[in-house]
Amino acid sequence: MSAQTIENLITEYLAQVKKATDLFEHVFGTKNPHRLWRSKKIPRRGTVGEGVTYELHGIGCSVYLSEICVDFNYGPDERVDGFDSWRLYMYACETPHKYKKYTDRETVERELNAYLKKGKARKIDSSTSNLYFIQP
């Protein structure tokens, strides 16, 4: 069992987003199928694998993998490696057996803020995104 740290939560969340967007790329030929949806080439809700469904919304997507739901927004230049406190909190609520302490929104915000103060992640200069990205 992984330790309940904000870094582990972020890492696992981003791994699930990658799993979901890799499925999109395999099925639709792109990690971001919003253009296909908006041009009515695919439905807003659908299936991308056995037991895997998706629902596109705004600038993001909810993907219902067989074991959990992961909700994410696309970042600038269609990046898929962004996160914020709300999405981390929602992911923790999907995995309370691993991340019980992060099922409290205030705990997520407090620890994420401390993580950001250490310079481990930051927002990208963009008026269209409130997501944080890991610093290289």
* Tokens encoding 34: 């919003």
Residue, of 121 and 77, whose pLDDT is higher? 121
Write down the pLDDT at residue 96.
Answer: 94
At residue 2 the predicted structure's pLDDT band, cuts being 50, 70 and 90, is low
Nearest to 62 by CA among 100, 24, 112: 24
The fraction of the chain above a pLDDT of 70, given in percent, is 96
Write down the pLDDT at residue 124.
Answer: 77
As a whole number of Å, the CA-based R_g of the chain is 15
Is residue 1 scored above 70 in pLDDT? no
- Write phi, then psi, for 118 (nearest 5 degrees): -75, -5
Is residue 127 scored above 90 in pLDDT? no
Give per-residue pLDDT as tens, 73-95.
998 888 899 999 999 999 999 99
Tell me the pLDDT of the chain averaged across its residues: 92
At residue 119 the predicted structure's pLDDT band, cuts being 50, 70 and 90, is very high
Write down the pLDDT at residue 3.
Answer: 82
Write down the pLDDT at residue 103.
Answer: 97
Write down the pLDDT at residue 93.
Answer: 96
Q: Residues 60-70: what's their mean pLDDT?
A: 92
- What is the C-alpha to C-alpha distance for residues 13 and 99, in angstroms, rounded to an integer? 11
